[in-house]
Amino acid sequence: MYKIVKKETLTTNIYLMDVEAPRVAGSCLPGQFVIVRMDDEGERIPLTICDYDREKGLVTICFQAVGAGTMMMSELKEGDSFHDFVGPLGRPSELVEEDLESLKKKKILFVAGGVGTAPVYPQVKWLHEHGIAADVIVGAKNKDLLILEDMMKAVAGNLYITTDDGSYGRSGMVTQVIKDLVAEGNKYDVCIAIGPMIMMKFVCLLTKELNLPTVVSLNPIMVDGTGMCGACRVTVGDQVKFACVDGPEFDGHLVNFDEAMRRQTLYKTQEGRAVLKLEEGDTHHGGCGNC
């Protein structure tokens, strides 16, 4: 059992938990995720790791209550436990695998949207701990939905907040902030964007025009998290990939976002899944091939 030692409500339907999971905390890296279950018959829920403390054996998760499983999770209290807390899964961020001296010469821009702020944070924190200051744009629909601002401010080189309705920080979409920063003379070597699929799509359309290499994390489309359900099937360039086993990070300029978002919609119904199976044939499923 994996005890919840801290629970915090960040904003409407968005929660943060610190969970005792020493083995996961001891080996996880930024960009990876865990799969949690509340009981032995519960739904498997993949969640990107928001933070970790190796000494205390704690892993921090952040989630939005949008479905039955996450709504049940939101009712758990400090002192309650998860039945399963499996990880780390997925490939770590490409940044942590780069030569550190080469990385220090790069100017890096992160773009976080909504709950995507949670998986952006550990990457920015890791860079900060290694003496690298990255610029970070955090976007939300309004001030009430903004999360982790103080935590991000403590590790970011420059933090730019923007809200769609202009209720806090700058007014407008994250793409406008990217345009503004580039217009001000900022030259970035790489952009890492994590957030809703539609946000990542438009960030990538812009950064492609700017010739700015961009990495995206496709954790929002993961369902099972093991490569068996096929929900996170995505076309990257001319190859079929599965976000949970091949990612979750990919070259954003190669991702077919329109196809991935259509699959998200169809996958929600039994009829839609039947359509996808017919269209995709042998490539429909993930790791098991015929689940």
Q: 10 Å Cβ neighbour count for 24?
A: 22
Distance in angstroms (rounded) separating the CA atoms of residues 161 and 99: 30
pTM: 0.84
* Helical spans, DSSP H, in the chain: 22-27, 68-73, 100-104, 117-129, 149-155, 174-183, 197-209, 243-246, 257-266, 270-280
Query: Can you count the helices (H) and strands (E) in the chain?
Result: 10, 16
Q: Confirm whether 2-89 and 98-217 share one CATH topology.
A: no
Class (C level, CATH) for 2-89:
mainly beta
Domains of the chain, by residue range, sit at 2-89, 98-217, 220-291
pLDDT of residue 230: 63
> What burial letters (b/e) apply to 59-90, b meaning 16+ CB within 10 Å?
bbbbbbbeeebbeebbeeeeeeebebbbbbbb
DSSP 196: -
Give pLDDT tens digits for 46-91: 888 999 999 999 999 998 888 788 888 889 999 999 999 988 988 8
Distance in angstroms (rounded) separating the CA atoms of residues 139 and 240: 30
DSSP three-state, residue 114 = helix
pLDDT of residue 287: 42
205 close to 194: Cβ distance less than 8 angstroms: no
pLDDT of residue 291: 39
Class (C level, CATH) for 98-217:
alpha beta
pLDDT of residue 155: 95
240 Cα distance to chain centroid: 20
174 Cα distance to chain centroid: 16
Ranges of residues in the chain with a pLDDT under 50 are 286-291
